[in-house]
Amino acid sequence: MNTRDIVTAAEAVQSAILANEAHIESLDRAIGDGDHFINVRRGCEAIVALKGDLLGLPPAQAFERIGMKLLSTIGGASGPLIGSFFISMGRDLAGVEEPDAKQFAVALAAGVEAIKQRGKADVGEKTMLDVLIPTSRLLLRLAAEGSDRETVCSKLKQEAEANMLATRDMIATKGRAHFLGERALGHIDPGAKTSQVAVFAVCDMLTEGAAS
């Protein structure tokens, strides 16, 4: 993985998020604060706008630059959460010029852990972590096993989809949704949906790149 891959992935995620705007917004209107999609879109725009600056940086510095930008760009609780994700990834990759699959998997796990610690949340609480934690753990295992890119991406997409759908049957304990109690049952968490969309976008970008 190099910084151009990071930029290409960011562009792919932005396109996917915009393509899923109506669905994500409807989920957020049902159980969220109503500003989730706006914040995510703003964050994607900010990252893509950094393209010229990022391409001259090693991955570690690029991730940290993205994280700092998001801290000052995204409103509400999302800014510190997502910003800390990228900053932690960057710090974990310090000194690594072009991370391999195992190094990237470990860095991603560090980023997810940063969200977990800052948000004081875990699996089963109807948040983005219900997708990010199991997907990150699976990536660590697949990278350690030396699985090929096609296998990794296929399994990650299955994992993200299953865990996103599982939030429909959870009672939220974080965010606005936790005030709804059992009324949030039957609704997919918007953060989990956004995370699933991002995982799909990056995986599709990687497999299409490998096939071309």
Contacts of 196 (CB under 8 A, 6+ apart): 131, 160, 161, 163, 164
Handedness of CA 192, 133, 96, 149 (dihedral sign): negative
d(CA 122, CA 102): 23
pLDDT in tens, 31-52: 676 788 889 999 999 999 999 9
Statement: residue 208 has pLDDT above 50: yes
Question: How far does the chain reach from its first CA to its final CA, in angstroms?
Answer: 17
In the numeric block, the tokens 């669905």 are attached to: 23
Lowest average pLDDT, out of 59-68, 84-93, 183-192, goes to 183-192
The confidence band for 159, taking pLDDT boundaries of 50, 70 and 90, is very high
Higher pLDDT among residues 206 and 180, named by residue: 206
On the 0-12 / 13-18 / 19+ scale of CB atoms within 10 A, 104 is buried
Residue 120 scores a pLDDT above 70: yes
Task: Tell me which CATH code domain 3-211 carries.
Answer: 1.25.40.340
pLDDT at 171 over 60: yes
Say yes or no to pLDDT of 181 above 70. no
CA 102 – CA 117 distance, rounded (Å): 23
Can you give the pTM of this predicted structure?
0.92
Does residue 20 surpass a pLDDT of 80? Answer: yes
**Position 85 pLDDT exceeds 70:** yes
H-assigned helices in the chain: 3-19, 21-31, 36-49, 51-54, 59-73, 78-92, 101-119, 129-145, 149-166, 190-211
Using the predicted structure, report yes or no on whether residue 59 has a pLDDT greater than 60.
yes
What are 151-158's contacts with CB under 8 Å, separation 24+?
Answer: 152/101, 152/203, 153/203, 153/204, 153/206, 153/207, 154/203, 156/199, 156/203, 157/199, 157/200, 157/203
